[in-house]
Structure 1
Amino acid sequence: MRETQPQHDHQGDLETIDGIELLPSILEAVCRVTSSGFAAVARVTETRWIACATRDEIGFGLAAGGELPLETTICHEIRQHRQAVIIDDVAADPTYREHHTPRIYGLGSYISVPITLPDGTFFGTLCAIDPQPRSLANKEVTSAFAIFADLIAQHLMASRQVATIRAMAHERERLIAELQTARDNAVGELERVSVLFDHAPSFMAVLDGPEHRFVSANPAYRDLIGGREVIGRTVAEALPEAAEQGFVDILDKVYATGEPFSMRGARFTSRDENGEAAPERFLDFLYQPVAGNDGTNGIVVIGYDVTDHVLQTRRQAALTDLGEQLRVIDDRGDITHAAARIMAEALGATRAGFGTVDAEHETVIMHSNWCAAGATPVEGTYRFREYGSFIDDLKRGETVIVADVREDPRTRPNAAAMEALGIRVLLNFPVIEHDQFVLVAFVHMDTLRELSEADIQFVKQVADRTQLALAQLQAKEQQETLNRELGHRMKNALSVVQAIVSQTLRRAGDLKAGRSAIDARLAALGRAHDMLTEASWKEADIRQVVEAALAAHRRDGQRISIQGPAVPLNADQVQGISMALYELATNATKYGALSNEEGRVALDWSWIDGAFNLTWIESGGPAVKEPSDRGLGSRLIEQAIAPYFRGKGNMEFAPEGLRFRLSGYVIA
């Protein structure tokens, strides 16, 4: 970019602009708030465009005093219509994509705001350009430009007024009147600037002297520091946590060197007016030194709270990380621990994890959870009501947020127990499956912190993805078990067929009678398998299930006695009972009471107030010896059925006959 620097009659404007101490900070803030690489204050007349001050981070090549041909700029159009021109993306803008100015100077984005003096005089423009598209047409940018343009206009106006007063010094009375007017105007304008300062979207403060004593701070700054009174106090006195976090050291360096300092996404933890730790914030800020006759005499603080953006970025990265890890983990404990760690680190929590819920008994089994340094894991079985009444909300599928266990009525009576576990803030997210509360995702914090809606949605996403991963793992394990069981059942089915054929032929009077009996018994076995398959997928009464499972083995209806009341079984319980009885009857046919002609089996059950008990007792068969190695069938009988009834199964190899007992619960 080439510039021309002719001698012109606007040297006074350049000197006036150069005298504005905050102008470098303004141009720095303009570049930061727009993400543009070039910013300038220009004097625009009917015939000339003159750069009064510039900030060039992209090598545009235009310095203070340089000029551009007026007809090549958009500013001369602004001089005519006195309106701001804002172009986010030149290539997409229907008005300016074919305009000669962006083409001449290679502009990707453009913003220019008129600088109009209080008396209505047009001075020029405050503008920013960049070769790349930028987001400019928003309240944050337009408000900042309005404030900065007004500050420059006020300074220019004040300078011109002072010049006028000095020029009329020989007219004493008029000079006094002019001075009075100027003073009144200055006070009014100062008040107006103060209003603009107070309503600025950014946080701002002015510090004086090497001790960094607060001269002013706008409401946004006071909100950032918890509403504390700071005017007249040093930063170290008013904000000791800022000193602890190194911000005073940075201020000292800026004051000593006279060099500005800026930072993006700086972590800052403040305190409220009661001294309680406030939620951590993330800030973009600038420390701009203010020069005096003897060097730096103060620092202006300007910045924006970018916490929401930083946390959203952190949450998104955490979900991506979780997805990558869940693809390769195949252990339940590892899945929940990885999800807990990612959830806790993203939220800055003390502890996070998952628990398996028994909604009926209102207990939760806490799995391995992630804890911050110094925190104690919370693992094992806990009763919800020993820590508050929020279990009622969880059962309804509602997310529970306790902002302070001391104040929330659901936890206040149990606050001491909660705090003993290091819990001051609590978030519980219920996972509902088939209308049942089965899993809870929890986040604990030992200090006060506000949880946003975005935080809650993040926990929900982690919980949903974790539940899906656990369900997929469970499905995989169930498929493997099913495959093993299928193989085992096929072998048993062949053994049962062999036993049926052998026993039938031994008792048959002739071949024709034997074949007929064999056909009937094999058909009964086939019907039993059909009913077992059907019963596995729906609720059924226990007698229906028992008769289906034992149909092939009850040849004369007398050797297996069945007794017990009607009991409604769910699908899992149907499958469990069917599996156990199938195995018991098969074993009895092969080795036990049904392997000879005299043996008997007594099957009975009871159901009282939800308590369920079932017994299978064999007698009259061959003498029983306990095997040295339990086979798959025995393990399935003892272990597979009991969990469906939240109880225990026990097989006893008594010499007079095998005995099996099941005790548990059936809830209608």
Structure 2
Amino acid sequence: MSIDFEHVLGASPNPYVILDTDLVIVWMNDAYLRATMRGRGDLAGQKMFDAFPSEEGSESHQLLKSSLDRVLKTGEPDELALIRYDIENLDGSTDARYWSATHTPIHEGGQLRYILQHTVDVTEVEKLRQHKDAMGIFRRAKSVQDENRTLRDETRRLLALFHQAPGFTAVLMGTEHRFAMANEAYRELVGRADVVGRTVEEALPEVADQGFIEVLDNVYRTGEPYFGRREEVFLVPEGESESRSRFLNFVFQPVLDDDVVRGIIIQGNDVTDEVLSLERQQSLVNELNHRVKNTLAIVQGLAMQSFRTAETERGRVVFEARLRTLATAHNLLTEGFWGAAEVADVVRQSAQATARDALARIDFSGDLVRLPPQTAVSLAMIIHELCTNAMKYGALSNESGSIAIRWHVVENGAKALVFEWKEQGGPAVTPPERPGFGTRLISRGVSDRSTGSAEVAYEPDGLRFSMRAELEAA
């Protein structure tokens, strides 16, 4: 059965008019002619705003034009709950008229060709605004219209922000993980523009082969997010045959509706450049470490050649021990890319290198404090000399002695490290008759006298060393 829709609309008691994309009137039914008090020849072929003029900038003109423009821009229907649009009478006078209008797009071959306007004359209802109930109805209608317009505008803004976000973002729905949305950054990352509407396995088979479907299944099943940290992912852009490696920080975040998982949000950043830069830096540091160790080995070889006689054997042993401590401090710093080193690490590793099995009799306790490289090396050398003296003459020279090492930070205008070494349980100690290199090194501390202080006290129950160093100055 074939239906003549032009005949159906023409016979309808409701006013209908059809506009083309230039807003030219191409057809109208008899009900529309009666409502507007015009003849068919007066309207056909005229633009809407020429046939029914209104002052530009007026509310009537803006409301009608904005509604028609939205249909032309979005290809979606638009409604005007209430609009005042005055109509000229046959005698030339003008009546205030109120309308409710719906604008429906008509597509042909996938292109917007026409707009169907359905209008209802609600003038009489509008005049009932003098009644309290009617006033409330119209206020609510206008409020709904304003709210809908605001919601549409906000939705468009949010979608624009979503697509322009610098981090890649995509939304997957259902147990099949079907793409519902994907912003420009995500499309650029995966090298595909047509992911929406397809499952992850269909759109990105190389990702499925790397086990990410199982990860998504687990997030969907448990409702627990999955965090990827510098995770290597291999992607094959559209039109290419070779995969490319990318390092990503990302999260698979479940989307909950009434505590039920409905989908998953993928959000993250491409950190490939950062990871490759760190790898290059690590390679350079390793090369530097290798060369410094070679230099230290050469120095050690020269020392062995220089300290050959029995008289110089003791000096050689001391020199090698100090060299090993310096190498230990160097290793600690290279592990941190020659950045700041923690006091706890410097103290423990330096003490372990010297005290060895006696390390169990040393108690460490202190704040989390980080020192710059030069200061860390100085502290390591001090710990070595203190441990060496304790092993020979102090608390670690017998079986019962012990050492307490404490440090903390104080603030009095500037931050300062307060460090203390206290021995007890060892033999009685006395000041050396003539201070050697080790004693002078300990007494100097880790900074000059203008920014810190150091003190060695030979107390009855054991040696005590205390030091203060301003951290900013250090």
**TM-score, length of structure 2 as denominator length:** 0.32
Task: Looking at secondary structure, tell me which structure has more strand per residue.
Answer: 2
TM-score by length of 1: 0.23
For CA contacts below 8 A with separation 6 or more, give which structure has more relative contact order: 2
